[in-house]
Chains A and B, each alone.
Chain A
Amino acid sequence: MATTKTTKPIQTDILCVGAGVASLSTALALLRKLKAGGCEKLPRVMVIDKGRNVGSHVLSGAVIDMSGFDGLLTADEIKKIPVEARVNGKRESFHMLFGESKSMKIPWMPPMMQAHGYPVGSLTKLTQYLAGLCEKEGARVYTGFAAVELLEDDKGRVVGARTGEKGIDHEGKPKSNHLPSEAVYAKAVVLGEGACGILTEKLIKRKELEGDREQAYAIGVKEVVEVPADEKRVGEIAHTFGYPADMQTYGGGFIYHVSATQVMICYAYALDYADPASDPHALFRKFKAHPTVAEHIKGGKSVAYGAKVIPEGGCYSVPKVVADGALIVGDGAGLVDTLRIKGIHLAAMSGRAAADTLADCWKNDDFSLKALQPYAERLRATEGWKQLRRVRNVRAPFSTHLTFGVACAGAAWATFGAFPFWQVPMEADYKALKVLPGGRMPEPEALEATPTSPDRLTDVFMSGTIHDEDQPCHLKILDRKKCAECIKRFGAPCQRFCPAEVYRLEEGRIHVDFSNCLHCKTCQIKDPYQNIEWTFPQGGDGPRYTRM
């Protein structure tokens, strides 16, 4: 870091890192619970987020399983959730796609997939709504501030976090508008950074909090498509699996008609794929071109884009969620129902479990490790955790073969998670890549650009992502020698897996266009040499999602 100019430390009581559903649910539930219990002196609750606004960096389908908000939001607040549609159960469908044009509609909706009546809409708007409720209860949400480091005392207890500097030039020198780092001290830190959170992952490593199994991720790419108005389709949703993923890779699509004129369309692709030439953005385009999918967005125009990794490992991959001074909530803890690819309800439930614990800590003025520990048990007692147990083995068999995966998923669900009867092992995603024969990356497939199939850079533009270009590159290539080896053996898969075209191979050297970055974290996860370190760019930079 450029300077050590010190600023006055900031004191708060509870610091939540990241303004997603999990953090905001923690803040809201904590303040509401203490108020309901007649607590006179309420804690100061501070939420900080690296996005420019609340919701700038969140991304989901999103069909929202509201069970996570039961009893947290009032009936009136639930009614006012800013979504335009609810899922229409009569227009729910599930398709297996075979090749470029064939598909089979699964004649019945698997019961665990049914979503009739759930709100369907933008997670960005949901988090903005929750942030408003939090602020009304007295929490304070500050955006544009990245927590870049956890502060620990000499006993290794987490006691706060440090924000990133702003106004540093590309050489690391302060510019005229330099803003120094600020230290925020709190009695407890809630880590709600989302999937593959940088501080969370470092803490897990440092404190050996790893779960039983490696975390497995998928990359989700999404567009909002404006379509000619069709009132009949409001609330229609469709899920697909199969094509264009190969038989060894877990991939699926979602199509949600969130209003008469807006369709949200996403494609998720497991990052344990083997072929270095796999290109999630190109797969997304092929998915959209499949007739079963294309009819949903016919005559439309893509207007917004985003990408984010999804933790898919299930409950065996969930780390220990309590460290001295810190609690891990939401996606950052890997709390996603793998079968339904749903995590919003789990984020809310984990936030509330954390809030219950923090409320006790506050009342007893005891934030010791022992006093924080009940959060882990509370999380395991939630309805959401029981669902996670039921699908605990859903994901792993897919890495063998799609049909085996589907069969196992059904069996796992039907037997309440007992099948397969063993804990199916999973390797870290980056280990799954196979060496390219001859080290030659095949030419990218030529796909025609259309209003509903923009090329990658057009999509990047529509994400609104922006980074001050005169700052140090936040995507650090640790060892250029490893790059050369990777190019030889794998053909530089970063140029394909990045959904934002950050990495370009030119004349044998990888160029990093960090300004395109969508903060999805795919590179950190999938680089076969683990040679890319994702660090924090200037707070407020990154995607500017408004309707993801």
Chain B
Amino acid sequence: MHIVVCVKQVPDTANVRINPETNTLMREGVESIMNPFDEYALEEALKLKDAHGARVTVITMGPPQADVILRDAMARGADDAVLLTDRAVAGADTLATSYVLSLAIKKLNEKPDLVLFGKQAIDGDTAQVGPGVSEFLDYPLVTYVKSLSVKDGVFTVETLMDEGTDVIEGRLPAVMTVVKEASTPRFGSLAGWIDAKDAAIPAWGAKDVQADIAQCGLDGSPTKVVKIFAPPTKSGGRKVDGREKPAEVVDEIMQLLKEKGVR
């Protein structure tokens, strides 16, 4: 079995701040990390590898220094990695990204049985690239996977729904997006890092995957960012305190509600 995991390098949004004057991200002091949801996708792939001896390939599209997340994945147990890096693909929206990623997957020397994504990236939060790639590859799609098993080319998954769980069975190949409820990602070992740090990772450009340049990067992206702004900070509500005198608190709240026009 060959499993491809698509991963993305993202700014650690836990620490991201927006410059209130320019409305741009303040990058100073913000780390780049592997998109946390992609770690769960990778973990599902590695679990299948542990159970069935699959081959796991990780792919990312990003600047040359995004290789570090591929090495991280290899330190944890991924077998191969591909870095898609090219100025021509920079500034891509989810459509152009899905297009180029799917071409890279098609170019791999072994056709994948399973292509895994995190449910979404924490920077854009679109959750569209996984579904986009499934369309370009013409593979069936299952989203929000929280458990996954494979037997004789048939997968059984549980997906996280608003109310309860769906159990879906189907035949590989397939594209899936994975939620954090799936499992706890493993750590890369030091021995794993030693090999991963010096692993040769091929870097492919748009031409290497025979992409139509018009469909790549900013030019191939119908989505346009018109404006970025930080939502106004909410001023905290008013607190009516007085645990000792609940009756007075009730009176005060009633008064406030009346002032607001509540009848």
Q: Do B197 and A140 have beta carbons less than 8 Å apart?
A: yes
What CA separation (Å) do A144 and B253 show in the bound complex? 52
CB-contacts of B66-103 with A (<8 A)? none
User: What string of 1s and 0s marks CB contacts (under 8 Å) between B164-187 and chain A?
Assistant: 000000000000000000011111
Most buried by A among B29, B191, B194: B29
Whether A464 contacts B15 in the complex (CB less than 8 A), given A303-B29, A304-B29, A547-B28, comes out as yes
Q: Do A177 and B31 have beta carbons less than 8 Å apart?
A: no
Closest to A259 in B: B28
Whether B127 is near chain A, meaning CB under 8 Å from some CB there, is: no
Contact for A179 among B187, B197, B198, CB less than 8 A: B187
Neighbouring A residues of B141 by C-beta, 8 Å? none
Q: Do B31 and A142 have beta carbons less than 8 Å apart?
A: no
What CA separation (Å) do A394 and B190 show in the bound complex? 43
Whether B193 is near chain A, meaning CB under 8 Å from some CB there, is: yes
Whether A547 contacts B193 in the complex (CB less than 8 A), given A176-B184, A177-B187, A179-B187, comes out as no
Neighbouring A residues of B189 by C-beta, 8 Å? 7, 179, 182
Q: Do B190 and A145 have beta carbons less than 8 Å apart?
A: yes
Whether A505 is near chain B, meaning CB under 8 Å from some CB there, is: no
What CA separation (Å) do A142 and B193 show in the bound complex? 8
Closest to A56 in B: B31
CB-contacts of A1-43 with B (<8 A)? 7-8, 10
Q: Do B191 and A182 have beta carbons less than 8 Å apart?
A: yes
Q: Do B194 and A10 have beta carbons less than 8 Å apart?
A: yes
Contact for B190 among A163, A177, A303, A304, CB less than 8 A: A163
Whether A166 is near chain B, meaning CB under 8 Å from some CB there, is: yes
Q: Do A179 and B186 have beta carbons less than 8 Å apart?
A: yes
CB-contacts of A74-115 with B (<8 A)? none
Whether A405 is near chain B, meaning CB under 8 Å from some CB there, is: no
Query: What's the least CB distance linking B147 to chain A, in Å?
Result: 13
Whether A368 is near chain B, meaning CB under 8 Å from some CB there, is: no
Whether B211 is near chain A, meaning CB under 8 Å from some CB there, is: no
Query: What's the least CB distance linking A257 to chain B, in Å?
Result: 16
Query: What's the least CB distance linking A544 to chain B, in Å?
Result: 7
CB-contacts of A475-517 with B (<8 A)? none
Closest to A182 in B: B190
What CA separation (Å) do A97 and B191 show in the bound complex? 53
Neighbouring B residues of A167 by C-beta, 8 Å? 184, 186-187
Closest to A176 in B: B184
Q: How many residues of B contact A (CB 8 A)?
A: 17
User: What string of 1s and 0s marks CB contacts (under 8 Å) between A442-469 and chain B?
Assistant: 0000000000000000000000100000
What CA separation (Å) do A10 and B197 show in the bound complex? 15
What CA separation (Å) do A144 and B187 show in the bound complex? 10
User: What string of 1s and 0s marks CB contacts (under 8 Å) between A163-180 and chain B?
Assistant: 100110000000111010
Whether A219 is near chain B, meaning CB under 8 Å from some CB there, is: no
Closest to A124 in B: B29
Neighbouring A residues of B193 by C-beta, 8 Å? 142
What CA separation (Å) do A53 and B184 show in the bound complex? 21
Neighbouring A residues of B185 by C-beta, 8 Å? 177
CB-contacts of A158-215 with B (<8 A)? 163, 166-167, 175-177, 179, 182, 184
Whether A10 contacts B15 in the complex (CB less than 8 A), given A177-B184, A177-B185, A303-B29, comes out as no
CB-contacts of A45-88 with B (<8 A)? 48, 53
Chain B interface mostly: loop
Neighbouring A residues of B184 by C-beta, 8 Å? 167, 175-177
Chain A interface mostly: strand
Neighbouring B residues of A163 by C-beta, 8 Å? 190
Whether A53 contacts B31 in the complex (CB less than 8 A), given A140-B197, A176-B183, A177-B184, comes out as yes
Whether B30 is near chain A, meaning CB under 8 Å from some CB there, is: yes
Closest to A548 in B: B29
What CA separation (Å) do A176 and B187 show in the bound complex? 11
Neighbouring B residues of A145 by C-beta, 8 Å? 190
Q: Do A142 and B190 have beta carbons less than 8 Å apart?
A: yes
Neighbouring A residues of B197 by C-beta, 8 Å? 140, 142
Neighbouring B residues of A184 by C-beta, 8 Å? 190
Whether A7 contacts B191 in the complex (CB less than 8 A), given A177-B185, A177-B186, A464-B15, comes out as yes
User: What string of 1s and 0s marks CB contacts (under 8 Å) between B26-55 and chain A?
Assistant: 001111000000000000000000000000
Query: What's the least CB distance linking A123 to chain B, in Å?
Result: 14
Whether A546 is near chain B, meaning CB under 8 Å from some CB there, is: yes
Neighbouring A residues of B198 by C-beta, 8 Å? 140
Neighbouring B residues of A177 by C-beta, 8 Å? 184-187
Closest to B198 in A: A140
Most buried by A among B185, B190, B191, B194: B190
What CA separation (Å) do A142 and B189 show in the bound complex? 10
Closest to A142 in B: B193
Query: What's the least CB distance linking B239 to chain A, in Å?
Result: 17
Query: What's the least CB distance linking B8 to chain A, in Å?
Result: 19
What CA separation (Å) do A544 and B29 show in the bound complex? 10
Q: Do A142 and B194 have beta carbons less than 8 Å apart?
A: yes
Query: What's the least CB distance linking B85 to chain A, in Å?
Result: 19
Q: Do B194 and A140 have beta carbons less than 8 Å apart?
A: yes
What CA separation (Å) do A91 and B183 show in the bound complex? 56
Query: What's the least CB distance linking B26 to chain A, in Å?
Result: 9
Query: What's the least CB distance linking A391 to chain B, in Å?
Result: 34
Q: Do B190 and A546 have beta carbons less than 8 Å apart?
A: no
Query: What's the least CB distance linking B121 to chain A, in Å?
Result: 20
Whether A48 contacts B190 in the complex (CB less than 8 A), given A176-B183, A177-B185, A464-B15, comes out as yes
CB-contacts of A97-154 with B (<8 A)? 140, 142, 144-145
Closest to B193 in A: A142
What CA separation (Å) do A287 and B158 show in the bound complex? 57
Whether A546 contacts B30 in the complex (CB less than 8 A), given A167-B187, A177-B185, A179-B189, comes out as yes
Whether A546 contacts B191 in the complex (CB less than 8 A), given A176-B183, A176-B184, A179-B186, comes out as no
Q: Do B191 and A8 have beta carbons less than 8 Å apart?
A: yes
Query: What's the least CB distance linking A211 to chain B, in Å?
Result: 33
Query: What's the least CB distance linking A75 to chain B, in Å?
Result: 26
What CA separation (Å) do A175 and B191 show in the bound complex? 20
What CA separation (Å) do A176 and B28 show in the bound complex? 35
Query: What's the least CB distance linking B256 to chain A, in Å?
Result: 27
User: What string of 1s and 0s marks CB contacts (under 8 Å) between A376-401 and chain B?
Assistant: 00000000000000000000000000
What CA separation (Å) do A163 and B188 show in the bound complex? 13
What CA separation (Å) do A177 and B77 show in the bound complex? 13
List of 9 A-B pairs having minimum Cβ-Cβ separation, nearest first: A546-B29, A179-B187, A177-B184, A177-B186, A166-B187, A182-B190, A547-B29, A142-B193, A145-B190
Query: Beyond A10-B194, A140-B194: 4 further Cβ-contacts under 8 Å?
Result: A167-B184, A182-B191, A304-B29, A547-B29
A-B contact pairs, 14 of them (CB 8 A): A10-B194, A140-B194, A140-B197, A142-B197, A144-B187, A163-B190, A166-B187, A175-B184, A177-B185, A464-B15, A546-B29, A546-B30, A546-B31, A547-B28
